[in-house]
Structure 1
């Protein structure tokens, strides 16, 4: 293992050896001449004595730039929309490592200019990958779950709704850095992709992050409208058995910003699943199940941002979602041993009423990057799961599961820049979750029962983090302490649990910048997965042929993660590669068992130790001014040690995606994407290879204010899922034809009703969220 890592390290370094030419460095900050506020994303362009552009870069979120070039140049220009371009002769620069540029605003009023990226962009930070959803054609007019499906770093199964990172579904999903009690599929289907600003994929989380999520954290950052004046955005979409419409905008004054959003969407879906089982006792069972889904989501968001003065900001927000969907399953059982064929029918529904309240206060000090932030988040969910079952139109039973959950989350973060090269961060967080789960069961001609499962969970975390820079090396080292406690009571069998865990979680991240566009990174983090509500809750929907059992005897699963990555960004070619090793102990796995009458029982068990390896690579190439191509691939391998529970102890999965974007005219662009998923081997089953082609086209009108999209997913309509399951007690083959092919139209209109000319509050947008290292 050490030999392998050493080889890879020297290999990456060898790729990055620079030529012997002299390197010139320009480092500085760009500010507004009047307000002295920093200007992010300003362009710094370098020219030679012939006036030819030889190099360039953009300022970061803090208005800073660092350009290292081996090109000969005489002057550089700094520009940004709404400002007069500043031209500076290099011979007049006193200290190239400490340049201060002030841009003067253009006096005349400008017409509104809409700037959007034509495709998703990716940034690699010291401890995360940030994907800017931007205006990617394939992700427009979709849900967050469907947008994830276009990001190959996140393995998304649209049929089941499962998401995973690096071959593991033990992922922590956050929205603006906050947890939710909803399942990932329920949560992601509530969020339209138009509401997403960025997706942070954090496979090597620092000590700032809560330690759960063994394979990493996915943090969805939602947009926050702060444009000056009164702005409205209208969105509507219609497609295959779906529709959506919504309005969002903001009213921004000098001292206050009002944000609002309202939307409704509806979707129907049908799929057909065929299951063939053979049991060790010689019995057989076949099931043909057509799934009919019908759902509607209503959502409203309102928020207020108060800019008290230059150092104090306060924010309030309320998000309410009404999510209802129904299911109808009319399953046909055939080839059942000792039984005639029969029809089993289930009518069921899910209702989710979610309200999220957030309050945030931030105190900024005179020194840039010096701040204190306090955040409170209240997440309340009321969930109902009623179902009625029939066999050959004869009533069997009614079952109603009610789950009420409340999460309180309080966090405190403090950052102190000791010097230009040293930053100290520290903070604390407290999360408390209360869940009451009730099951009402009324069988035919039998006395009904009502049972309750109560679950409480508390998590206290404290962290300290230091960032420092030594020449071209960036270091980040941190330590986190967490105390976790949970207790539960089950009235069905009068069982209780009372768990307590106390752990330390170190993290360290190092990057070495050979140049501005040539970086090598190394990271280590320790993670944990503790037994939670999902593992021990016995009240989950089943039927007479399938049952879920909670396991209160589970032990925590832990992992140690090591990651090595390299990125190289040039004008036409950008590419990156990352490799990792993950050591998992007391792995928690979903296992199957068969009881009498061939009833399948599923529960979670600790199965031993896993060793996981993987590699991910992405290459983007700009062939011409109108053609961009991207090739992305990954491969993951896991070896399970000393275990007799699993069928296969060598697991693997991989993905390959080729994306081509063409700019046909200034107003029209198109995207063709090919995805291939080879055989995926799991512990008890394997999924046969799949592939699909996606196509989309976009046109812009009215000075880019009106956008129209056409999107077709799975053009060839052949993305079948074929899964083969093998356990010591039964074999099963599943063929699932879900509604993979979808057609969608999206219309989006952006309009400014009133534009404020007051520049005194031209603040850059800041996301109010805990656990974000670039606060």
Structure 2
């Protein structure tokens, strides 16, 4: 880690001194303008603008901002050659003269022609890169991830910098499972990983990863935000897209999206069905100590993880006039997940005195979800916007668990059934307003204010049934069952200001939230009542260093509020050997997140280096203890603090139109310090993850993609997870240009995806291993009808409106 720190310091010092040297001599001339697409007038972000002398020797240069604008200052009088270029567009060259009488040159709109690729008489436009790097986020263009298109959002994210995924599909963002998931800029009601597992990759246009959001966003989620933007189009008439896939081990899916636009009206509908089964093997070694007796157990056998879900959506949009529009959409989704395991179960307390059983586990989770959204947008003029949104979300969730133990002669020895219900009703209202405002002699200033009201009403509980060996049936056990009602309301208000002073940009903001929580426990007097007010300040700054460099820094404060079940003060039993209980005294986690970033982009090469430091206060951990015998008891506690210091280098290389290589790494030091059972703990590790994605164009219409994924070991408060390495591959073959595509996806080619974790304490030791059947092979077809194309790059006003949709 010291070596990494020194490299980063040397790099930043080099940038500083280069900048200082460039600033010694100043002149007064400048050239400005805006680069756009010639056919649509859309601004082109990060286009290269190079200034040459008469001998075509480069003098300086810059890159356009998100609105296509550029400025080259401090120029002497004379003749200059200026060159504009961007991947997929023809290069444009112009000549300009700066004189004493005319020192300021505004070229206005510089229009670049899109570069065509001719394929058997059909014109195909250039494709987007798999990953794009914006100033404040990473953007994953899902269509270009051929090795993941037949899976879910989780399969796409597995190849992305900052992200790691375990065998159960649980996602970690920079080592943390605590992040916020938005779907089309709207918060999901499900747990983050569960929401991502249910979104088919074929229905996604792009995924945005925002690790340090501003005060405009909901502060929930310590590690940041993953925003899923689904496919949509603005073409007139009827058009659509359909996908079908089939793979080994009962994996199949299908979906379609139909769009109709006529003048001011747009109507769209979609349907998807997904069935993915992942069989594998699992084993567990457990050792517990109770009353001077050591209990041992070992399980080994087969398992499977089935995810089955389908959904229907319908929506419409009406353009009232050029400045106002409104929309309404609804979605109905049925989700179902099923996990099974059949293992040999060995138990003993003295060596040589072993009892062997068959143990079967079945967990089913699912329910119906309903979502209704209404939106209104008003675009007064440039940077002067108003938007309002009203959302209703209903989720009728249920989880059923069955654990049975049989002798080798198949006689039932023990059985346990658990039914958990937790329907949730959520109401959300957002009002956002922005307008131009200039302070401190700044340029392009913008003031944003808004509020968000969230009301959550739910109830849930657990019913327990035990197997009676006498009557040979299950009996309801009210002493283990419970019921509770929940209210969780949040009232938030934010204020942000964005400004620029020459090459220096800044954004500062403050968000305040009042939280009211009430949990009523049926049959007890121990209700939970929480009222608190919290402030979340943010600060983002950036500096452009001509011609190609940019340095960014930010600080934000975010929160992780405990879930309802984390606060319940009674026991939940899913099997005879595992008991968990909530903690009504649990405090929210707060994180102070600091980031520093550097970007450089020039002629086919992009280099990015991010440094980050997170301090988590009131660290929440699941703590395991021995309950009795070989039964484990788990609860949640605030144990202390969590520290993460890391660096994230990314290199994207386009050697030619036939080869693109993306290399990324996440190197970080993780430390947990605090107290468990009045004993001081301190866990520290240095670990890393690596990603390599190679896209090769074999010929026109044929591309292959090979990616390697390595996740290093990670620590927990009471244990660790082992490292693993996976290689994935994909092929995309264009069968009919712009109409029909074939994709082949092969995941975990070498079967190296073995997942291991260990947890231990003063009176227990648990080691678990899990592998999936590999390789995973899926064949897919993609069909576009009536020339369906994803929504093109948005105009400047549309981009601003979409920003207003964000939280």
TM-score after normalising by structure 2: 0.85
Do structure 1's residue 701 and structure 2's residue 735 form an aligned pair? yes
Larger mean CA deviation between 354-363 and 173-182 belongs to 173-182
- The equivalent position to 1:361 in structure 2, one of 364, 368, 376, is 376
Larger mean CA deviation between 456-465 and 41-50 belongs to 41-50
**Quick one: distance in 2 between partners of 1:716 and 1:31?**
46
Quote how far apart the aligned CAs of 1:59 are: 6.5
CA offsets, 1:362-404, max 9 Å, x none?
Answer: 11113x1210010112111111222333321537343322211
Does the CA contact (< 8 Å) of 1:84 and 1:103 recur in 2? Answer: no
Match of 1:627 in 2: 659
Match of 2:212 in 1: 204
Do structure 1's residue 170 and structure 2's residue 178 form an aligned pair? yes
**Quick one: distance in 1 between partners of 2:538 and 2:797?**
30
Does the CA contact (< 8 Å) of 1:161 and 1:185 recur in 2? Answer: yes
Shift in CA distance, 57/770, structure 1 to aligned 2, threshold 3 Å: closer
Match of 1:649 in 2: 683
**Quick one: distance in 1 between partners of 2:646 and 2:49?**
39
Match of 2:561 in 1: 530
Q: Secondary structure at the match of 1:587?
A: strand
Q: Secondary structure at the match of 1:341?
A: strand
Quote how far apart the aligned CAs of 1:743 are: 0.9
- The equivalent position to 1:375 in structure 2, one of 363, 375, 389, is 389
CA offsets, 1:134-171, max 9 Å, x none?
Answer: 422223222011111111311221x1222222222222
Quote how far apart the aligned CAs of 1:679 are: 2.4
Shift in CA distance, 642/183, structure 1 to aligned 2, threshold 3 Å: closer
**Quick one: distance in 2 between partners of 1:62 and 1:499?**
45
Does the CA contact (< 8 Å) of 2:98 and 2:105 recur in 1? Answer: no
CA offsets, 1:411-448, max 9 Å, x none?
Answer: 11111112552111111100111111132223335444
Does the CA contact (< 8 Å) of 2:164 and 2:711 recur in 1? Answer: no
**Quick one: distance in 2 between partners of 1:468 and 1:608?**
38
TM-score after normalising by structure 1: 0.89
- The equivalent position to 2:507 in structure 1, one of 460, 476, 493, is 476
Match of 2:366 in 1: 351
CA offsets, 1:94-123, max 9 Å, x none?
Answer: 7866443287999xxx99965463641222
Do structure 1's residue 547 and structure 2's residue 579 form an aligned pair? yes
Quote how far apart the aligned CAs of 1:671 are: 1.5
Mapping 1:606-685, distance limit 5 Å: 606-644=638-676, 649-685=683-719
Match of 2:319 in 1: 307
Larger mean CA deviation between 457-466 and 684-693 belongs to 684-693
Q: Secondary structure at the match of 2:127?
A: coil
**Quick one: distance in 2 between partners of 1:365 and 1:191?**
35
Match of 1:90 in 2: 96
**Quick one: distance in 2 between partners of 1:587 and 1:427?**
30
Match of 1:499 in 2: 530
Do structure 1's residue 27 and structure 2's residue 32 form an aligned pair? yes
Quote how far apart the aligned CAs of 1:226 are: 1.8
Shift in CA distance, 690/96, structure 1 to aligned 2, threshold 3 Å: farther
**Quick one: distance in 1 between partners of 2:735 and 2:74?**
39
Match of 1:193 in 2: 201
- The equivalent position to 1:124 in structure 2, one of 109, 131, 134, is 134
Unaligned runs of 5+ in 2: 469-474
Match of 1:405 in 2: 424
Q: Secondary structure at the match of 1:589?
A: strand
Q: Secondary structure at the match of 1:74?
A: strand
Does the CA contact (< 8 Å) of 1:119 and 1:137 recur in 2? Answer: no
**Quick one: distance in 1 between partners of 2:256 and 2:97?**
52
Quote how far apart the aligned CAs of 1:62 are: 4.0
Match of 1:433 in 2: 456
The alignment covers a number of residue pairs equal to 762
**Quick one: distance in 2 between partners of 1:763 and 1:472?**
21
Quote how far apart the aligned CAs of 1:494 are: 4.5
Quote how far apart the aligned CAs of 1:541 are: 6.1
**Quick one: distance in 2 between partners of 1:95 and 1:329?**
76
Q: Secondary structure at the match of 2:321?
A: coil
Q: Which has the higher strand share?
A: 2
Does the CA contact (< 8 Å) of 1:116 and 1:134 recur in 2? Answer: no
Shift in CA distance, 442/740, structure 1 to aligned 2, threshold 3 Å: same
CA offsets, 1:243-268, max 9 Å, x none?
Answer: 11111131122211112211111121
Quote how far apart the aligned CAs of 1:288 are: 1.9
Q: Cα RMSD (Å) of the superposition?
A: 3.8
Larger mean CA deviation between 386-395 and 50-59 belongs to 50-59
Q: Secondary structure at the match of 2:555?
A: strand
Does the CA contact (< 8 Å) of 1:29 and 1:38 recur in 2? Answer: no
Match of 2:152 in 1: 143
Do structure 1's residue 262 and structure 2's residue 238 form an aligned pair? no
Q: Secondary structure at the match of 2:218?
A: coil
Q: Secondary structure at the match of 1:188?
A: helix
CA offsets, 1:554-577, max 9 Å, x none?
Answer: 122212111111111111321111
Unaligned runs of 5+ in 1: none
- The equivalent position to 2:295 in structure 1, one of 283, 287, 299, is 283
Do structure 1's residue 226 and structure 2's residue 234 form an aligned pair? yes
Larger mean CA deviation between 511-520 and 414-423 belongs to 414-423
